[in-house]
Each structure stands twice: as structure tokens, then as C-alpha cells.
């Protein structure tokens, strides 16, 4: 008699959810230029006040330390906005220009820094000092690294190991190839999963998440 | 990961991976290195692939 009727949402299939999430992410992507503009204004104001704050401080040592922290945080937010903006621009996947593999690795790690820290994952880098240059699209290769990182971080969630490590290496092989080596300790894949890894529409993730974090935005 | 495979091919790059269940995974991606005198060749190849 007192049973509360559960909302009947079971008719909503994964594909329906996928379409909604896809549409919402696409809308964010399409409007991100305006969002970036709105975000940059208060950042510039905060940065301006932060640079003036020392002039009015009584305890300059104390305020200087706080001001430095605020400056770092503002720079981090500004970098993130720039990265998301670049990530969301469709036409940048088409251009092929000279790219530095080391820079792409650095930017990709920075993009996921918060998530990496939250999951207590250790990132190791061993990047060659040589120019690791190739022709291609920065956005496309960042998408590759985002896929690697996203998959590893998802795998770490269900993997209660103390060894949560991601390793990035770059090198020049025989003067002919710029090589990226990405290593995770996230538990690996079963032979069944590994054999289907590059199959279209194959994923071990449930629901719309198989589309990937940036599917809608990167369109 | 099908998208990753597509991107790698469009860059004339090669990818391989090794995985050990319970341990981890290693991906290796090899991009043709940029040299001043092979810009034209690489651009042509990439454009052909993109037209697929």
C-alpha cells in the first residue's frame, strides 16, 4: 500500500541516452568559443587584482605567498580553458602541420592532471631531448593520448593496486621514426578484449561512456 | 579505440601494443619523423588517406 512507485525510465535505451549526451556535448562544443570569452573576463580581472594586491598589503611576505598560489591557480585555469577550446575546434583535426611529440605529451598530461591527482596515479615521463617532430594534427594526436589516458584511468578505478603508474616515453628510432611509448599498470586486457580492441563500436564501457569523453565536443 | 586506429593510419604512423592481463598494457606509436626534404611526400600521402 505504501510502496512508492519507482520512476519508469527503463524504456530509455542506451542509444537514446547516447543521442542525448551526444547532442548536449555537441552543443557545448559549438558554443565553447563564447563560453571561453565569458570565462576569460573574470580571469583577467582576478589576475589584475592579484598583481596589485602586494602594493596594498601590510604583511608582504604572507600576501606574496598567497598571491603566488592564486597566480598559479589562475594560470592553470587559463591553460585548461585554452586546451578545451583547442580540443573543441573541429577544423584543427584536418590540418597537418609540424608537431612536437614531446609538447603533445606534455599538454595531454596537463589536461588530465586533476583526474590523475585525484586517482593518486603516478606519471613518469622519459622524453627525448631531441626534436621529436612529425607532420600531423595536434588535436588528432591529443585525442589518441586522451583515449589512452581515459581508458587507463577508468581501469584504475576498478583495480585496487598500489602500483598506479602511467609512463610516457618518446624517442627517435633509427632516425626515421618519432616513437611514443605509453605504459600503464592498469591490469591489462583479457585476450578476448585485446583481440577486438580496434573493432568499430566495441567497448567494455557501459552505456554512452563508450563514446569517449570528448566524442560530442570534438565533432 | 577504432578512432585511435583511424587517426594513426591517417598520419602514416604505426601502432602496436602488448598487454598482460592483471599487469598492464604498453602501446607504441611510430610517426614518420619530420625532415625538411620529405614534407611534400608526407603531405601527399596524408591527403590521399584523408580522402577515403
- For residue A205, the chain B residue with the least C-alpha distance is B1
For residue B25, give the nearest of A132, A184, A191 by CB distance.
A184
Task: Write down the number of H helices and E strands in chain B.
Answer: 2, 2
For residue A177, give the nearest of B7, B33, B39 by CB distance.
B33
Mutation site for B-interface testing, chosen from A96, A100, A135 by largest number of B Cβ within 10 Å: A135
Region A31-39: mean pLDDT is 81
**Cross-chain Cβ contact B1/A143 below 8 Å:** no
Q: For residue B22, which residues of chain A lie inside 8 Å, CB to CB?
A: 187-188
For residue A173, give the nearest of B4, B24, B30 by CB distance.
B30
Instruction: Quote the pLDDT of residue A127.
Output: 94
**Cross-chain Cβ contact A147/B4 below 8 Å:** yes
Region A42-62: mean pLDDT is 86
* A115-164 residue pLDDT tens: 899 889 999 999 998 889 999 988 889 989 998 998 899 888 877 677 89
- For residue B6, the chain A residue with the least C-alpha distance is A198
Instruction: Quote the pLDDT of residue A91.
Output: 56
Q: Is the ipTM of this complex over 0.85?
A: no
Region B3-24: mean pLDDT is 89
pTM above 0.90, yes or no: no
Q: E strands along chain B, which residues?
A: 14-20, 24-32
**Cross-chain Cβ contact A186/B19 below 8 Å:** no
Name every residue whose Cβ is closer than 8 Å to that of residue A39 and which is 6 or more positions away in sequence.
A77, A81
DSSP A197: T
What CA–CA distance (Å, rounded) separates B2 from A21? 20
What CA–CA distance (Å, rounded) separates A28 from A132? 33
- For residue A179, the chain B residue with the least C-alpha distance is B30
Amino acid at each position: 500500500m505504501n510502496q512508492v512507485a519507482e520512476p519508469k525510465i527503463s524504456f530509455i535505451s542506451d542509444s537514446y541516452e547516447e543521442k542525448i549526451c551526444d547532442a548536449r556535448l555537441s552543443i557545448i562544443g559549438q558554443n565553447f568559443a563564447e563560453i571561453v570569452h565569458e570565462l576569460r573576463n573574470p580571469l583577467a580581472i582576478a589576475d589584475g587584482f592579484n598583481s596589485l594586491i602586494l602594493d596594498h598589503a601590510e604583511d608582504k611576505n604572507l600576501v606574496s605567498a598567497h598571491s603566488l598560489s592564486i597566480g598559479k591557480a589562475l594560470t592553470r585555469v587559463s591553460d585548461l580553458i585554452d586546451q578545451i577550446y583547442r580540443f573543441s575546434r573541429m577544423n584543427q583535426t584536418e590540418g597537418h602541420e609540424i608537431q612536437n611529440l614531446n609538447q603533445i605529451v606534455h599538454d595531454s598530461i596537463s589536461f588530465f592532471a586533476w583526474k590523475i591527482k585525484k586517482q593518486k596515479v603516478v606519471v613518469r615521463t622519459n622524453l627525448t631531448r631531441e626534436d621529436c617532430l612529425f607532420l600531423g594534427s595536434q588535436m588528432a594526436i591529443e585525442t589518441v593520448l586522451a583515449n589512452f589516458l581515459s581508458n587507463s584511468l577508468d581501469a584504475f578505478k576498478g583495480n585496487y593496486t598500489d602500483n598506479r603508474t602511467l609512463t610516457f616515453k618518446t624517442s627517435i628510432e633509427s632516425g626515421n621514426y618519432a616513437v611514443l611509448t605509453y605504459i600503464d599498470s592498469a591490469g591489462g586486457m583479457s585476450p578476448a578484449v585485446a583481440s577486438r580492441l580496434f573493432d568499430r563500436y566495441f567497448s567494455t564501457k557501459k552505456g554512452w561512456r563508450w563514446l569517449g569523453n570528448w566524442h560530442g565536443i570534438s565533432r | 579505440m577504432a578512432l585511435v586506429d583511424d587517426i594513426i593510419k591517417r598520419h602514416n604512423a604505426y601502432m602496436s601494443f602488448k598487454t598482460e592481463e592483471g599487469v598492464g598494457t604498453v602501446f607504441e606509436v611510430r610517426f614518420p619523423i619530420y625532415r625538411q626534404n620529405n614534407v611534400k611526400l608526407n603531405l601527399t600521402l596524408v591527403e590521399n588517406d584523408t580522402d577515403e
